[in-house]
Amino acid sequence: MDQGLVNALLPAALVAVGVLAGVTRLIQKETFDRIPDLLFSVCYPCIIIQSIGKTSFSAIFTQNAYAAGLALILTPASLAIGLLAAAWMRDDHKKPVTAFAMMINNSTYVGLPVAQLLYGTRGVAFLVVFGVVQDLFLWTVGLRMFSKHTNPSWRGMFLNPAMVSLAAALLLSLAGSPDLPLLDGVTAALAAMTVPLALLYLGFVLAGDGAAILRVRGWVLSLSAVKVILIPAAAVLIAGLLPVDGFHRGMTLLMAGLPMPLMTVVLAKQFGKDAAYAVELLLCSTALYIPVFIVLQYWKVFSL
């Protein structure tokens, strides 16, 4: 079997294993319930150290200034839309889920393979730079939206595993990303657990809430349409006014139109927010993204 096809099918296979484990109860529910804690306290901090600590910030802003700038503009703009939508909601357990889901996109499980498909290593490099900058928002503003009720003190925004690892990663980056074989080996091994654990957990959540997609109503569908249609349309119109080439316009459309992230479900579960609503947003935005991408690809919108 072609390796590219295997890589594309692997995420779906991991989700399917999670669904199977949940349906058959071969793994106890209590075990799966601890996965968000493990991801938040161990795996995500290791990813932060691996991605940011091993990245030269000087290289980011010299070689991929457009990607960094796009993230610095698009992320707060998307957050503003999310906060506006959340302000109309009465349920406090849905508000942070809404704002976070609109702010952050699914660059890991959707953006990465699509960028590689469209533009090869150049697209992957662009996505990595965009993701590093967006992670700064995720682990500061995004995390605070979920945690402020369980930990009202602003001190809690900084004294948590993600923020401590972010500070360490920034120090490593500013120090020139030195080689630390033992630390690098440990963080790389633990970071590698993130994708399979997160996808297994998603499968388990879907097994326990298989009717989530059937509950999708106008509000969730509207938010999904804003996320994968309206925001990218506005972003690419603005990019069209800039002196950039087809690659940068295509990546602008791709990054602005990605569906909502799995992290929304993980954080909602971790901090006692509406995880079922987060699953609905994830499923609906992803389901809507697929035909939108197919149409754009058919009309060669991403062509250089």
pLDDT in tens, 135-165: 889 988 998 899 876 565 555 556 678 778 8
d(CA 178, CA 171): 10
pLDDT the model gives residue 61: 66
19, 28, 31, 200, 230 from 24: Cα distances, Å: 9, 10, 14, 14, 40
Domains of the chain: 28-298 (1.20.1530.20)
H-helix or E-strand containing 296? Answer: helix 275-298
Q: What is the pLDDT of residue 249?
A: 95
Positions in the chain whose pLDDT score sits under 70: 1-9, 57, 59-61, 149-159, 209-216, 304
CA distance 27 to 134: 34
Counting other chains too, the contacts that 82-86 makes at CB distance below 8 Å and 24 or more residues apart are 85/223, 85/226
Q: How many CB atoms lie within 10 A of CB 87?
A: 10
Residue 273: predicted pLDDT: 93
pLDDT digits (tens, 9 = 90+) for 49-76: 887 787 776 766 677 889 999 999 999 9
Give the whole-angstrom CA distance, residue 259 versus residue 101.
Answer: 9
